[in-house]
Chain A
Amino acid sequence: MAIHEKHLIRPENIRTHDNLVIDGVDVSGHWSTFIETRVVTDYNEALEEEIAALPGGEYIHRCWQCGSCTNACTVNAVNPDFNPRYWIYLIRMGMESELLRDKDIIWQCVSCNKCTYACPRDVVPEGVMKATAHWLEMKGHTEPSNSTIFDEEFTRQVVKTGKIEDGRILMNFLKNSKQPLVQDWLVQMVMQMVKHLPFKYLFGLGWATLFAPKTKRWAKTRDAIEEHIAEEKAAERAALGLDPKT
Chain B
Amino acid sequence: MPDRKDKYKEVAYYHGCALEGTAQPYNTSTRAIAKELELKLVDIKNWNCCGAMEVKNVDPEIQTYLSSRVMSLAHNEMKQDVVMAPCNGCYHNLKKAEYDIANKEESRAVVEKISAKADHPKYEAGQVETIHALDWIKFGYGEEELKAKIKGGLKGLKVANYYGCMYTRPRHIFPEKDQGGESESTSKPHYMDDLLEIAGAVNVEFPMKTACCGGAHTLSDSDMSTKLVLNILQAAEAAGAEVIATECPTCHSGLEMHQIRALKRLSKQTNVKVIYFTQLLGMAMGLSPRKVGLHENVSDSMKFMKQKGIT
Q: Which residues of A contact B (CB under 8 A)?
A: 55-56, 74-75, 78, 108, 110-114, 116-117, 124, 130, 145-152, 154-155, 158-159, 162-167, 170, 173-174, 177, 184-185, 188-189, 192-193, 195-196, 198, 201, 204-205, 208, 213, 215-218, 220-221, 223-225, 227-229, 232
Contacts and interface: CB of A to CB of B under 8 A. Distances in A.
Contact of B220 (A112, A150, A159, A218): A150
B219 A173 contact: yes
Contact of A78 (B18, B57, B166, B224): B224
A170 B18 CA distance: 13
B119 A147 contact: no
B161 to A, nearest CB: 18
Contacts of B260: 185, 188-189, 192
Interface stretch (B109-117, B126-134, B144-152, B240-248): B109-117
Contact of B20 (A154, A188, A213, A216): A213
9 contacts: A108-B224, A110-B225, A155-B55, A174-B219, A185-B261, A189-B298, A221-B69, A221-B118, A229-B59
Question: Which label, helix, strand, loop or mixed, suits the secondary structure of the A interface?
Answer: helix
Please classify how large the interface on chain B is, using the bins under 10, 10 to 19, 20 to 34, 35 or more.
35 or more
B114 to A, nearest CB: 5
Contact of A208 (B21, B58, B59, B212): B21
Contacts of A165: 17, 21
A129 to B, nearest CB: 10
A235 to B, nearest CB: 11
A109 B252 CA distance: 20
A218 B227 contact: no
Interface in B273-292: none
Most B CB contacts (10 A, CB to CB) among A78, A177, A192, A221 go to A221
B309 interface: no
B305 to A, nearest CB: 13
B58 A155 contact: yes
Contact of B257 (A150, A185, A208, A217): A185
